[in-house]
Amino acid sequence: MANAAANGLSTRDLYLFNKGNYFHSYRTFGAHIVQLDGKAGVRFTVWAPNAKQVHVVGSFNAWNGDSHIMEKNGETGVWSLFVPDIGAGAAYKYEILTSTNERMLKSDPYAFASELRPSTASIVTELFRFNWNDGDWHQRKLEDSPVHEPMLIYEVHLGSWRNNGRELFWTYEQMADELVDYVVRMNYTHIELLPITEHPLDQSWGYQTTGYYAATSRYGTPAQLMMLIDRCHQKGIGVILDWVPGHFCKDDHGLREFDGTPIYEGKDWKRAEKPLWGTLAFDYGCTEVQSFLISNAVFWMDVFHIDGLRVDAVASMIDLHFDKPPELYTYNAFGGTENTDALRFLKRLNEVVFQYYPNTLMIAEDSSAWPAVTSPTYMGGLGFNFKWNMGWMNDMLRYMALDPNDRMRHHNLVTFSLMYAFSENYVLPLSHDEVVHGKHSLLNKMSGTYEQKFAQLRLFYGYWMTHPGKKLLFMGGEWGQFDEWKDAESLDWMLLDYELHGAMHTYVKSLNDRYGTTPALWERDSDPGGFEWIDVHNAAQSIIVFMRRGHAEDEFSIIVCNFSYHHYPEYLVGVPKPGLYRTAIHSEAAAFGGSVPTADSTKVHHSNKTAWHGRPCSITLDLPPLSFQMLSFANGEPRRNLEKTVLH
């Protein structure tokens, strides 16, 4: 292909792209600042197989592409052109002449930056010269499997964590100073960003994307985003990106009918349509689309050092009937409703990502009952290493909304999740989806009076933190945001000046610390041997007691949750060993907004010889209403440490 060589393209790369095996296609496609024949300029490359002609138009030619006609590279469907004497900052689009002689202006699918909405031009950008300082972080990632490490994720929408007013966003650089330090102080291990890929509508929160390779210009430049991620890594914080391969929006400048025909969405319009969201699904059986999407996943890890992806709406990808009316039903070649192309795509995606980036995070947001989502592909699984536990989330939020007097009849909502807790590697999500669209904030979901809502939320957080699985909490939940999330406004930071909200903030910080420093709560998350019921059947009193175990023999914690309004001043709990048990954290401590004096909330309990709950000995606890307690086996600790009162 002479045209490819003349424009500095590799015929091998174009061949791999067409076959669905070019996993770094961003190094070829898009706008790249290069030198050809001793001249500096920009090489433009785009896939538009059914176009009659493609022009590059932009700020450098007064948006008239007559003198910048791209050359088609054989039968690859790829067009390219080298334009000398332009560089970073130039705005451009592709003017496509369709097979029906219609002219369309399209943004670059591989653009590394875009104009601030509502403008839609792509921007020539140099991405590959940032000076990273996170080598130590990546070395640690290679050494530690995330399955056996703590993972406490703070989910963030950058436009509303803090801002200076409606559409007056903080920059990535400001976030690098403020957000990262806050996350470190609060003892989180990871930040998860709602999609920051370029999107036209603020209210979509990034879930309806036009620019998969462009960090949104709302918050600044790609270099500023790199600064934010680099700062996270230097502070020991991982960064997860919400990634949306399930659908794309229909805006005219985007991927829809990109060359006048449906090349990204596929020819079957019934399969392409996503009526619930007003979007289009990708054609996962198209090899060029596979190269585009898998390269995009690799791109964020390679170029931006992202530590993992939360893959959005997996259930909608693998089910051909997902949220569709009957008139849009289609079936696979075997007569079933599984999207076999999407299943093959997801497996290949995970295989490629883990080939290049072992121990990265590939997290499926999947509400289906599809089996083996987090099993390796060679064992028949989809190949993710984590999956959101939507069943646990739905059951527990329903349970916590009940009047405690009615909970005895719904005890299974608390206990059922342990029937399947070890079937996958789970993340327990308390995400943005649960605090919008009339669902109320987490605090306002709780039943009871104002004070009881806080007690219940502290109890719920305690149970969540000690249940098997990694954790995710949406911003604002850490102090009990009372109103639903408002995506156009800043979080209600002023609530921290109110006593109970400030105390909740202190509690969550302390609970986060206990989680991170207690291996029993995360070392064996996916191992049934890391969990043991002590009392699962006490529906009448709405109390559960269980144990979490670490790898070391004496590394275990006892968890007691009283979901009732009743006070049990002398409640007997069976324990596996005689000795001392230290109260590691008590949700009703006065410092957290509860009624128990601090000294009493951190006491040491001596076991007695009374066998109970099938255990050889027991301890006696005071269980206030709506309370959570975690006790650690403390025989190995010096007594001076046991008698300390410490609130983190």
Kindly state the average pLDDT of the residues 144-160.
96
Kindly state the average pLDDT of the residues 520-527.
96
How far apart are alpha carbons 639 and 252 in whole angstroms? 70
440 and 396 co-located in one domain: yes
pLDDT over 70 at 5, yes or no: no
Supply the mean pLDDT for the chain.
95
Nearest alpha-carbon partner for 273 in 221, 236, 320: 320
Residue 129 lies in a domain: no
H-helix or E-strand containing 104? strand 103-106
pLDDT over 80 at 299, yes or no: yes
User: What DSSP assignment string belongs to 138-188?
Assistant: HHHHHHS-GGGS--EEEEE-HHHHSBSSTT-BPPHHHHHHHHHHHHHHTT-
Residue 6 confidence (pLDDT):
65
What CATH number has the domain bearing residue 178? 3.20.20.80
Residue 479 confidence (pLDDT):
97
Nearest alpha-carbon partner for 427 in 546, 322, 294, 311: 311
- pTM of the model as a whole: 0.95
pLDDT over 90 at 435, yes or no: yes
How far apart are alpha carbons 117 and 426 in whole angstroms? 37
Q: Residue 118: is the preceding peptide bond cis (ω within 30°)?
A: yes
How far apart are alpha carbons 125 and 253 in whole angstroms? 19
> CA 473, 476, 479, 483 torsion: positive or negative?
negative
Q: Which of 58, 93, 123 is the last residue of a domain?
A: 123
Residue 21 lies in a domain: yes
Listed in sequence order, the DSSP H helices in 305-410 are 314-318, 340-356, 390-400
Residue 634 lies in a domain: yes
Inter-CA distances, 594 with 496, 534, 626, Å? 17, 26, 10
147 and 95 co-located in one domain: no
407 and 472 co-located in one domain: yes
How far apart are alpha carbons 2 and 268 in whole angstroms? 35
Residue 50 lies in a domain: yes
300 and 274 co-located in one domain: yes
Residue 538 confidence (pLDDT):
97
Inter-CA distances, 289 with 24, 208, 209, 354, 584, Å? 13, 17, 15, 20, 51
453 and 570 co-located in one domain: no
Other CB atoms within 10 A of residue 570 CB: 8
How far apart are alpha carbons 607 and 73 in whole angstroms? 78
113 and 208 co-located in one domain: no
pLDDT over 70 percentage in the chain = 97
Residue 583 lies in a domain: yes
63 and 160 co-located in one domain: no
Residue 648 lies in a domain: no
Q: Which of 81, 103, 123 is the last residue of a domain?
A: 123
pLDDT over 60 at 344, yes or no: yes
Residue 236 confidence (pLDDT):
97
Active site residues: 312, 365
pLDDT over 90 at 549, yes or no: yes
Contact in structure between 584 and 546 (CB atoms under 8 Å) = no
Q: How sure is the predictor about 560, in pLDDT bands with cuts at 50, 70 and 90?
A: very high
pLDDT in tens, 170-190: 999 999 989 999 999 999 999
How far apart are alpha carbons 69 and 95 in whole angstroms? 9
Contact in structure between 151 and 516 (CB atoms under 8 Å) = no
How far apart are alpha carbons 492 and 477 in whole angstroms? 11
Q: How sure is the predictor about 648, in pLDDT bands with cuts at 50, 70 and 90?
A: very low
Nearest alpha-carbon partner for 391 in 322, 315, 277, 454: 315
Q: Return the structure tokens found at 436.
A: 């919008």
pLDDT in tens, 346-377: 999 999 999 999 999 999 999 999 999 999 99
Residue 31 confidence (pLDDT):
98
What CATH number has the domain bearing residue 587? 2.60.40.1180
pLDDT over 60 at 638, yes or no: no
541 and 583 co-located in one domain: yes
pLDDT in tens, 54-78: 999 999 999 999 999 999 999 999 9
How far apart are alpha carbons 584 and 343 in whole angstroms? 44
Q: How sure is the predictor about 637, in pLDDT bands with cuts at 50, 70 and 90?
A: low
Q: Return the structure tokens found at 49.
A: 């197989």
Residue 354 confidence (pLDDT):
97
Kindly state the average pLDDT of the residues 480-503.
96
Kindly state the average pLDDT of the residues 486-503.
96
pLDDT in tens, 388-429: 999 999 999 999 999 999 999 999 999 999 999 999 999 999
Residue 600 confidence (pLDDT):
76
Residue 128 lies in a domain: no
How far apart are alpha carbons 122 and 114 in whole angstroms? 4
454 and 597 co-located in one domain: no
Residue 598 confidence (pLDDT):
78
516 and 532 co-located in one domain: no
Q: How sure is the predictor about 136, in pLDDT bands with cuts at 50, 70 and 90?
A: very high
Residue 647 lies in a domain: no
What CATH number has the domain bearing residue 19? 2.60.40.10
Tell me which amino acid residue 568 is. Answer: Y
Residue 643 confidence (pLDDT):
44
Residue 93: strand pairing partners? 57
38 and 159 co-located in one domain: no
Q: Which of 485, 520, 555 is the last residue of a domain?
A: 520
How far apart are alpha carbons 80 and 323 in whole angstroms? 40
Tell me which amino acid residue 555 is. Answer: E
493 and 564 co-located in one domain: no
Contact in structure between 545 and 615 (CB atoms under 8 Å) = no
- Give how many domains the chain has, as a whole number: 3
What's the domain range around 83? 2-123
Residue 2 confidence (pLDDT):
55
pLDDT over 50 at 298, yes or no: yes
